Structure formats: structure tokens, C-alpha cells
Amino acid sequence: MPDLLHHRLHGDAARPPALLLIHPLGATLDLWNGCLPAWTQRFTCLALDLRSAGASPPGKAPGLDRHVEDLETLRIALGIDAIVPIGCAMGGMVAAAYAARHPERVSALVISNPTPRSSEAGRAMLTARAEVVRAGGMAAILPAAVERPFEAQPRDARYDRYLDAFTAQDAQAYAEAALGFASADASADLARVRCPVLLVAGRHDLLLPLEQAEATRALLPPGARLEIDEVGAHFLPYQCPETFAARVLNFLPQAASHTRTLENGR
């Protein structure tokens, strides 16, 4: 049996669709904890650690192909038939790739802090960061690695928890994860997505600014929605969990109605 990603299943795997929660680079499945109280009342939720993150198995620079393969292996093992991938930042590219490659399983797609690909500047930054971390550990990229994603956010207990968790990561695993995302490009996958899509961008996101969200929407079929959170920055599900969770709950019934309309027209 293949190594499964570390995960937490909240609810019944047989109750479709399950929300598949895909964290960004530098985080773990705990990123979604603030959203779960709202979502688990109505949906089964599957939160996971991507390969080379959290308690999941390590991998050599895992890219989109490997991440999608891991997600499908986990879905099959748990017996989940229908899912709604919800990804944040780099995890959003994984969510889009899964939706495009397994359309028969996906009824809707949500991406927070979206980007279609790692830019040239982003690729250089992540490659350099991996080298620095390998040599000097996680502390070598602090505080900038946490300060920038938390632009205009309070330095409160939530910030402290993220900083502590980020610092405690395995440096070698983080370096591999960063290298995997350095060359990630979901552009072709985004163009093949056919389910309803919600994009949510953060007004204060310095790493993936609004232009990246617009570029993502331009690749999607007409009808993809783009909403802007005026308060949050780079990690909307973590920084503004109540607002983000409400946006998703508002979107999903509309997405289900749209999906039924499409199916009836076939």
C-alpha cells in the first residue's frame, strides 16, 4: 500500500462532496482550523499535509504531478466519490491541477490567493530560499519569510502561532517543497477546468498581488468569480477564517445549482 499523506477527515467520507483542503507552501493542515467550525456543520472536510510538509512523507522537489497523484491516492483510499478542492496560494495550483485532471470527481473549485504559475522572480526567490534554508535552517529566512505574508495583519496570537509552526518545520523538507513549487505552472490546467470556480484575493497580498488573481481568472472559462478581501493578505483562510469560510458557504450552493443545470443540459 502506498504511503498516504498525513490527513484529518472531519465527517463521513460517504457524504459528498467533501471539501479537500490544500495548504500553501510553508504551512500544514492546521492552516484550516479556523474555517472548520463553519464548514463541518454542512460538509465533510478532508485536510491534509502535502508531500514534504507537516507529517506527510518527504519527496524530492515534489511538483504538481506528484501532488495530484498523492491527492488521488488519498481519495481512493478513503472512498470519497466527490470533492471540492480548496487551495491557498501555491496550494491553489495543486487544487486547480486536480480539478482539471479529475473532472469527474470535482463539482466546484475554490482558490484563495490565486496564481497561475510561479513567476521568474518567484522561481529565483524560492530556489535561493531553499539553498539558504539547507545551509542555515528555517531561522535563516526569518523574519522576512513570515512578515511579508502577514502584511497589514495584527501581530496577535494567530501570527505567533504561525511563526512558531513555520520556525519548527524540518528545514530539508521545506527546501524540497520550495523547489517543487519553484517551477510549478498550472496555466494549462486552469484552461481545462470546467466546474464553477471561486477565486478570492487579498488586498494586502504582497507575494501574490491582485494582478495574479486577474491572470488566473483570464485562463479560466467565463463565469469564474473573483472576490477581493479588503482586510486579508497572503493566507486568507488563516488570517480571515470567518470571512473566508462564509464566502465558500455562499458560493457552494450556487455552484451546485450551476452543476445541475449543466448536467441537465447534456
Query: How does pLDDT run across 211-224, given as a tens digit for each residue?
Result: 999 999 999 999 99
Lowest mean per-residue pLDDT among 114-118, 220-224, 260-264: 260-264
For the sheet with 109-112, list strands across it: 7-10, 44-48, 18-22, 83-88, 109-112, 197-202, 225-229
Residue 222: DSSP 8-state: T
19 or 260, greater pLDDT: 19
pLDDT of residue 257: 60
Q: pLDDT tens for residues 8-46?
A: 999 999 998 999 999 999 999 999 999 999 999 999 999
Q: What does the mean pLDDT of the chain come to?
A: 95
Q: Does residue 264 have a pLDDT over 50?
A: no
Closest to 124 (Cα-Cα) out of 65, 170, 183 = 183
DSSP per residue over 104-123, as a string?
GGBS-EEEES--SB--HHHH
Residue 48: φ, ψ to 5°: -145, 160
pLDDT of residue 91: 98
For domain 7-119+185-264, the CATH architecture is 3-Layer(aba) Sandwich (3.40)
Residue 44: φ, ψ to 5°: -75, 140
d(CA 184, CA 169): 22
Residue 76: DSSP 8-state: H
Place of cell 504551512: 27
- pTM of the predicted structure, to 2 decimals: 0.95
Q: pLDDT tens for residues 198-215?
A: 999 999 999 999 999 999
d(CA 158, CA 146): 12
pLDDT > 90 in the chain, percent:
93
Vertex 28: Cα angle to 25 and 33 (nearest 5):
125
- 174 contacts 27 by C-beta, under 8 angstroms: no
The confidence band for 266, taking pLDDT boundaries of 50, 70 and 90, is very low
Closest to 10 (Cα-Cα) out of 38, 27, 1, 24 = 38
Average the pLDDT over 232-260 and give the result: 88
pLDDT of residue 260: 47
The confidence band for 263, taking pLDDT boundaries of 50, 70 and 90, is very low
d(CA 28, CA 52): 10
The confidence band for 161, taking pLDDT boundaries of 50, 70 and 90, is very high
pLDDT of residue 132: 98
User: What residue type is assigned to position 80 of the chain?
Assistant: I
Average the pLDDT over 102-126 and give the result: 96
